[in-house]
């Protein structure tokens, strides 16, 4: 994060604007809308800026800039077409620890002015840090079309009821749930349609009926193989509602960035031969947190029901009458294969696919190898990095051709994804010569031969 987004309270605060042209007028308009006490210094002032000054009781001085103009200022903007003057204003403002912005020159700024979506008192700011202002404006335009103009009215309604709701719900999580229901349901629709009186009646009714001892709920959500854009809409919605999040090692940082910011995060990750929290404790933790009235998100890499032990977790929830939802995710086989350009099935290469755990128990892999030698079948091994030599050797000994194409995908769907292609006889040696780390996925079958032709990611 290059800049920390902040909102200045400039009401009745003395602010200086150096410059009198069209760009200076745009900045002056922002300062006036924010309630600033504006003073403009410039040799000449355009008609638009002059009119704005007159209408808003601002002040101006038709003269050259002088360092004394900075006296007692809370914020400074330089908007001239003279680089040396802009540099002077920036240097002298910084020396006095006064926040300063120089238009179109991020290097001289201590703050930047973002593109703004104004739904006062709701304010949304979009910035590229000065790197791509057109992109920031395009993003603002998209948000403008998505956010109803009545959101300001909705925010004011919430403000009027804030104290009463706080008195009704001593628990912060319960209070948050009440507001989430209000701001996304019938009350919100009534307010956006201008029917404030009916909306307030409904709020009062819902407060009277509120259950302060509401039972919690568990959301078992598949986070996919890594790319956050592969999340389902439902997954994202529940990630934003959860008050507590239990997540494992396979959930990528990009996905975790989309979790509600004020949620309690509990790492229960699992690494080969080392579990941060045993599975039984995770299961019981979900039950206990839900019975405390929490909305609990169990975030799992891939899909919860494909080698994710999701069935074990919801089995205990069901036994304890804890409400739960299950949201499937894109499993690693589907996501990683797609991003590697390897179709799991193909009319000319494979008519079936099998998902297999490659996890070692006592340093051995016990499976019916004879079922895995059909050449028209694609095999996908999860957690197969450590057991890769044993897997390849087992398939060859069972009768699968040593020349069968095979690929190991490291960190599939992520920006640092790597794909290693060889065949069953040579892949273990190829991987041994590289520094490869989990998460990985092993794909065996003729479909791997299509990787070079169909690869599109990265």
| Same-domain pairing of 94 and 174 | no
| Same-domain pairing of 171 and 242 | no
Q: Would residue 35 count as lying in a domain?
A: yes
Q: Would residue 2 count as lying in a domain?
A: no
Strands 14-18 and 75-78: parallel
| Same-domain pairing of 309 and 338 | no
Q: Would residue 121 count as lying in a domain?
A: no
Q: Would residue 139 count as lying in a domain?
A: no
* DSSP one-letter code for 373: -
The pLDDT tens digits for 65-100 are 999 999 999 999 999 999 999 999 999 999 999 999
Structure tokens at 448: 């791997």
Structure tokens at 49: 């800026």
Which of 192, 209, 226 is where one domain is finished?
209
Please state, for a pLDDT cut of 90, what percent of the chain lies above it: 74
Q: Would residue 164 show up in a list of annotated catalytic residues for this protein?
A: no
The CATH number linked to 22 is: 3.40.50.720
| Same-domain pairing of 367 and 398 | yes
DSSP labels for 403-437?
Answer: T-EEEEEESTTSTT-EEEEEETTTHHHHHHTS---
Question: Does the structure show a pLDDT above 90 at 133?
Answer: no
User: How far lies 209's CA from each of 14, 183, 202, 212, 293, in Å?
Assistant: 49, 17, 11, 9, 17
Q: Would residue 248 show up in a list of annotated catalytic residues for this protein?
A: yes
- Can you tell me the distance from the alpha carbon of 252 to that of 164, in angstroms, rounded to the nearest whole number? 40
| Same-domain pairing of 197 and 240 | no
| Same-domain pairing of 350 and 324 | no
For residue 121, the surrounding DSSP H or E stretch is none
| Same-domain pairing of 294 and 313 | yes
The CATH number linked to 400 is: 3.30.950.10
Q: For position 219, what pLDDT does the model report?
A: 96
Structure pTM? 0.72
Q: Would residue 204 count as lying in a domain?
A: yes
Q: Would residue 50 count as lying in a domain?
A: yes
Q: Which residues pair with 100 in a beta bridge?
A: 76
| Same-domain pairing of 421 and 342 | yes
Average of per-residue pLDDT values in the chain: 92
Which of 97, 113, 129 is where one domain is finished?
113
Q: Which residues pair with 234 in a beta bridge?
A: none
Question: Does the structure show a pLDDT above 60 at 375?
Answer: yes
Alpha helices in 263-409 (DSSP H): 279-291, 310-319, 332-339, 388-398
| Same-domain pairing of 19 and 51 | yes
Q: For position 271, what pLDDT does the model report?
A: 60
The pLDDT tens digits for 192-249 are 888 989 999 999 998 888 766 667 899 999 999 999 999 999 999 999 989 999 999 9
Write down the catalytic residue from 248, 300, 303, 411: 248
The pLDDT tens digits for 36-53 are 999 999 999 999 999 999
The pLDDT tens digits for 233-292 are 999 999 998 999 999 999 999 999 999 988 999 999 866 555 578 999 999 999 999 999
The pLDDT tens digits for 96-128 are 999 999 998 989 999 988 888 999 999 999 998
Q: For position 131, what pLDDT does the model report?
A: 83
The pLDDT tens digits for 156-170 are 999 999 999 998 888
Domains held by the chain: number: 4
| Same-domain pairing of 106 and 183 | no
Q: Would residue 392 count as lying in a domain?
A: yes
The CATH number linked to 170 is: 1.10.8
Determine the average pLDDT of the residues in 449-454. 94
- Can you tell me the distance from the alpha carbon of 50 to that of 61, in angstroms, rounded to the nearest whole number? 11
Write down the catalytic residue from 270, 294, 300, 411: 270
Q: For position 361, what pLDDT does the model report?
A: 65
* Structural domain span for residue 259: 217-330
DSSP labels for 329-347?
Answer: ---HHHHHHHHTT--S-BT
Structure tokens at 292: 């405390």
Q: For position 177, what pLDDT does the model report?
A: 85
| Same-domain pairing of 189 and 282 | no
| Same-domain pairing of 226 and 187 | no
Which of 330, 347, 371 is where one domain is finished?
330
């Amino acid at each position: 994060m290059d800049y920390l987004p902040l909102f200045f309270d400039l009401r009745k605060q003395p602010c200086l604007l150096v410059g009198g042209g069209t760009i200076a007028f745009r900045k002056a308009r922002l300062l006036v809308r924010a309630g600033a006490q504006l003073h403009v210094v410039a040799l000449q002032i355009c008609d638009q800026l002059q009119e704005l000054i007159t209408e808003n009781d601002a002040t101006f001085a038709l003269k050259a800039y002088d360092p004394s103009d900075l006296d007692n200022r809370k914020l400074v903007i330089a908007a001239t077409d003279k680089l040396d003057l802009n540099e002077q204003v920036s240097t002298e403002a910084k020396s006095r620890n006064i926040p300063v912005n120089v238009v179109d020159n991020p290097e001289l700024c201590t703050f930047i002015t973002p593109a703004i979506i104004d739904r006062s008192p709701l304010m949304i700011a979009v910035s590229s840090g000065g790197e791509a202002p057109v992109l920031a404006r395009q993003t603002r335009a998209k948000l403008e079309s998505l956010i109803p103009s009545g959101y300001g009215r909705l925010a004011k309604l919430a403000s009027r009821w804030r104290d009463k709701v706080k008195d009704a719900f001593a628990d912060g999580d319960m209070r948050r749930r009440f507001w989430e229901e209000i701001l996304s349901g019938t009350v919100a629709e009534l307010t956006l349609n201008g029917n404030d009186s009916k909306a307030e009646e409904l709020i009062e009714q819902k407060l009277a009926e509120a259950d302060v001892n509401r039972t919690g709920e568990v959301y078992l959500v598949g986070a996919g193989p890594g790319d956050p854009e592969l999340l389902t809409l439902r997954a994202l919605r529940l990630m934003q509602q959860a008050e507590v999040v239990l997540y494992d090692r396979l959930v990528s940082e990009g996905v975790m960035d989309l979790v509600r910011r004020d949620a309690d995060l509990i790492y229960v990750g699992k690494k080969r031969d080392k579990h941060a929290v045993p599975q039984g404790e995770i299961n019981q933790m979900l039950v206990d947190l839900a019975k405390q009235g929490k909305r609990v998100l169990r975030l799992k890499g891939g899909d919860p029901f494909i080698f994710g032990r999701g069935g074990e977790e919801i089995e205990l929830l069901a036994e304890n009458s804890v409400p739960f939802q299950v949201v499937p995710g894109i499993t690693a086989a589907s996501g990683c294969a797609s991003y590697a350009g390897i179709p799991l099935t193909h009319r000319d290469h494979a008519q079936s696919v099998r998902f297999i755990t490659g996890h070692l128990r006592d340093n051995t892999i016990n499976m019916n190898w004879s079922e895995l030698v059909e050449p028209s079948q694609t095999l996908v091994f999860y957690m197969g990095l450590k057991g890769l030599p044993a897997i390849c050797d087992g398939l060859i000994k069972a009768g699968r051709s040593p020349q069968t194409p095979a690929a190991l995908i490291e960190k599939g769907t992520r920006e640092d994804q790597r794909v290693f292609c060889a065949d069953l006889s040579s892949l273990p040696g190829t991987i041994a010569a590289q520094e490869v780390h989990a998460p990985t996925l092993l794909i065996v079958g003729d479909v791997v031969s299509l990787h070079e032709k169909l690869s599109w990611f990265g």
